């Protein structure tokens, strides 16, 4: 068995920049950062962008990681916000590949090594990703939820490997919000844009897959997705700034070649019921009804109980509006 000094994983020339944005989670970022530093592929740098309003995360990093040269920490003053924080990390990256992981999530021990394996096997690959475990708030894996998540987002064994339509991967949300890897120059060219709000993950994922020559799906678990109630997406999901509503408007306006129109319809099928509910709950019942009736396929053409639940919400919203006008 080769020694650590001659192991090809240990001496691999490819440098990976792991970007780790954080905000007010000193109790969680330690596990995320530890998972990055424990990777079997050791030619890495870990870039942390701290948007926190206090110094708890800074104190943690200084106490536990100050001696590790791979950790490069920056406290954003003033805070940059989600998209600009991620974009600043991309700008600071010096590696050949970039990997994004959020502060409440963490990586499987050989995630970097396994995703990197796609490049020498397929010359056109510019983006790679794998499956995500779902965990509870304490980081305990939930097997049934993990299987459901990956199946729901089209990550199944029968489609493993190089994707025939790279753009479809982003459109239908097969590409995950984090735990992915991509060529650094491509990541920096696409970037995160502040105007996309909390949907910046989806917009970025769609645009990078549309731009990539090759996208590779590894049918292996590479990251852990922690379920918490403090995420931006969770706290805004019923409002007019909800990520799904922003993503829906982006998707509708997106210019696509004819061969990707089926992927757009599949993506809209997932989004429309959520957008219908958002409209109805935010005093726009007529817009909600119009959208539902124009996308009946999203409700199995009337055979989904979800449609009738949404009709009830619309009726309640309309009644409330009329009562307020009296």
Residues 206-216 pLDDT 10s:
999 999 999 99
The residues spanned by each domain of the chain are 16-235, 237-325
Q: What is the mean pLDDT of residues 241-251?
A: 90
- Evaluate the omega torsion of the peptide bond into residue 78 and state whether it is cis, within 30 degrees of 0: yes
Between 305-325 and 261-281, two packed helices, what is the crossing angle to 10 degrees?
A: 40
| CA–CA–CA angle 106, 111, 116 (5° rounding) | 140
Superfamily of chain region 16-235: Spore Coat Polysaccharide Biosynthesis Protein SpsA; Chain A (3.90.550.10)
pLDDT in tens, 65-77: 999 999 999 999 9
DSSP state of 234: H
In terms of residues, how long is the chain?
326
**What is the Cα–Cα distance from 101 to 146, expressed in whole angstroms?**
17
DSSP state of 255: -
pLDDT cut 90: percent of the chain above it: 86
Instruction: Please state whether beta strands 181-183 and 97-100 pair in parallel, antiparallel, or not at all (unpaired).
Output: antiparallel
pLDDT in tens, 134-190: 999 999 999 999 999 999 999 999 999 999 999 999 999 999 999 999 999 999 999
DSSP state of 61: H
Give me the phi and psi of 107, to 5 degrees please.
-105, 150
**What is the Cα–Cα distance from 163 to 215, expressed in whole angstroms?**
6
**What is the Cα–Cα distance from 63 to 248, expressed in whole angstroms?**
43
**Residue 10 pLDDT greater than 70, yes or no:** no
**What is the Cα–Cα distance from 34 to 300, expressed in whole angstroms?**
45
Instruction: Output the CA–CA distances (angstroms, integers) from residue 296 to 73, 269, 292, 304, 305, in the order listed.
Output: 49, 9, 6, 10, 12
Give the torsion sign (CA, 290, 296, 298, 301): positive
**Residue 261 pLDDT greater than 60, yes or no:** yes
**What is the Cα–Cα distance from 107 to 148, expressed in whole angstroms?**
19
If you average pLDDT over every residue of the chain, what do you get?
92
pLDDT cut 70: percent of the chain above it: 92
């Amino acid at each position: 068995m080769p020694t650590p000094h001659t192991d090809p994983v240990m001496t691999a020339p490819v440098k990976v920049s792991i970007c780790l944005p954080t905000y007010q989670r000193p109790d969680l970022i330690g596990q995320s950062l530890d998972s990055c530093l424990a990777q079997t592929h050791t030619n890495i740098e870990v870039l942390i962008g701290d948007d926190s309003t206090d110094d708890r995360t800074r104190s943690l990093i200084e106490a536990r990681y100050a001696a590790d040269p791979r950790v490069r920490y920056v406290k954003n003053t003033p805070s940059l916000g989600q998209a600009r924080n991620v974009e600043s990390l991309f700008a600071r990256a010096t590696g050949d590949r970039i990997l994004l992981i959020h502060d409440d999530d963490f990586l499987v021990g050989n995630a970097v090594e396994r995703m990197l394996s796609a490049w020498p096997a397929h010359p056109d690959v510019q983006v790679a990703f794998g499956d995500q475990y779902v965990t509870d708030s304490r980081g305990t894996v939930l097997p049934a939820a993990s299987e459901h998540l990956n199946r729901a987002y089209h990550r199944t064994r029968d489609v493993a490997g190089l994707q025939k339509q790279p753009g479809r991967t982003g459109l239908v949300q097969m590409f995950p919000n984090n735990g992915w890897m991509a060529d650094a120059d491509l990541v920096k060219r696409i970037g995160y844009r502040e105007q996309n709000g909390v949907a910046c993950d989806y917009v970025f994922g769609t645009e990078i897959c549309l731009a990539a020559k090759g996208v590779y799906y590894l049918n292996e678990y590479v990251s852990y997705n922690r379920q918490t109630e403090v995420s931006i997406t969770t706290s805004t999901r019923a409002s007019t700034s909800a990520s799904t509503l922003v993503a829906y408007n982006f998707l509708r306006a997106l210019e696509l070649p004819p061969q990707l129109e089926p992927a757009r319809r599949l993506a809209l099928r997932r989004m429309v019921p959520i957008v219908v509910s958002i409209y109805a709950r935010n005093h726009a019942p007529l817009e909600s009804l119009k959208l539902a009736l124009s996308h009946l396929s999203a409700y199995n053409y009337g055979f989904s109980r979800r449609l009738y639940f949404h009709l009830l919400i619309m009726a309640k919203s309309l009644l409330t509006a009329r009562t307020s006008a009296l």
